[in-house]
């Protein structure tokens, strides 16, 4: 029997590029309202592919445990695909460390993992604050973003 996932019905918004590329039939994305538990087996770890968010050990286990059509596991957000809907979760720090270890060394420890709902400020329907213009006229240095080597990156926005 498939596990039930509570979702917010009012949070449909545009889809991330990574979801659109991997699953072109998906038409909507919603935020999850509850955590899900996923059991990763040794078989999931041995058959998984490095640097592939939809074929890593956790994605394979999520598809099996949740009886889903697909899964995309990223460093900050993860998606469980059911039919034409993508359900978005936050990726906990413990899972992030396992992803980095797996992508670099093909080493994902079997065990019980979980995906959590996004925080209220990180939800798709959250009100985004706008930046205030600086009145002093001073130029502000652009912040450099560090992207770690040999680790998956999910693309944001729609193509």
Show the tokens assigned to 62. 């999520």
Provide the phi-psi class of 109: left if phi over 0, else alpha when psi is between -120 and 50, else beta. beta
Position 141 confidence tier, pLDDT thresholds 50, 70, 90: confident
What DSSP character marks residue 112?
E
Rounded Cα distance, 41 and 110, in Å? 5
pTM over cut 0.85:
no
Query: Which pLDDT belongs to residue 1?
Result: 44
Mean pLDDT value of segment 71-89: 95
**Higher-confidence residue: 145 or 99?**
99
Q: What is the pLDDT of residue 9?
A: 54
Q: Is the pLDDT of residue 89 over 70?
A: yes
Mode of pairing for the β-strands spanning 85-90 and 77-82: antiparallel
The model's pLDDT over 36-68, given as tens digits with 9 standing for 90+, comes to: 999 999 999 999 999 999 999 999 999 999 999
- If one counts every other C-beta atom within 10 angstroms of the C-beta of residue 113, the result is 22
Q: Which two tokens stand for residue 47?
A: 């058959």
pLDDT band at residue 12 using 50, 70 and 90 as cut-offs: very low
């Amino acid at each position: 029997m498939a596990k039930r996932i509570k979702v917010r019905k009012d949070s449909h918004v545009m889809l991330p590029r990574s979801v659109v590329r991997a699953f072109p039939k998906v038409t909507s994305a919603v935020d999850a309202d509850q955590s899900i538990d996923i059991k990763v087996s040794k078989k999931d770890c041995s058959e998984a592919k490095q640097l592939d968010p939809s074929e890593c050990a956790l994605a394979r286990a999520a598809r099996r445990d949740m009886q889903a059509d697909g899964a995309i596991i990223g460093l900050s957000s993860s998606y469980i695909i059911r039919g034409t809907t993508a359900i978005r979760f936050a990726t906990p720090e413990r899972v992030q460390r396992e992803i980095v270890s797996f992508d670099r060394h093909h080493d994902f420890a079997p065990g019980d993992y979980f995906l959590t709902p996004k925080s209220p400020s990180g939800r798709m329907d959250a009100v985004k604050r706008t930046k205030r213009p600086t009145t002093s006229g001073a130029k502000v240095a652009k912040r450099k973003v560090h992207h770690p080597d040999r680790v998956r990156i999910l693309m944001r926005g729609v193509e």
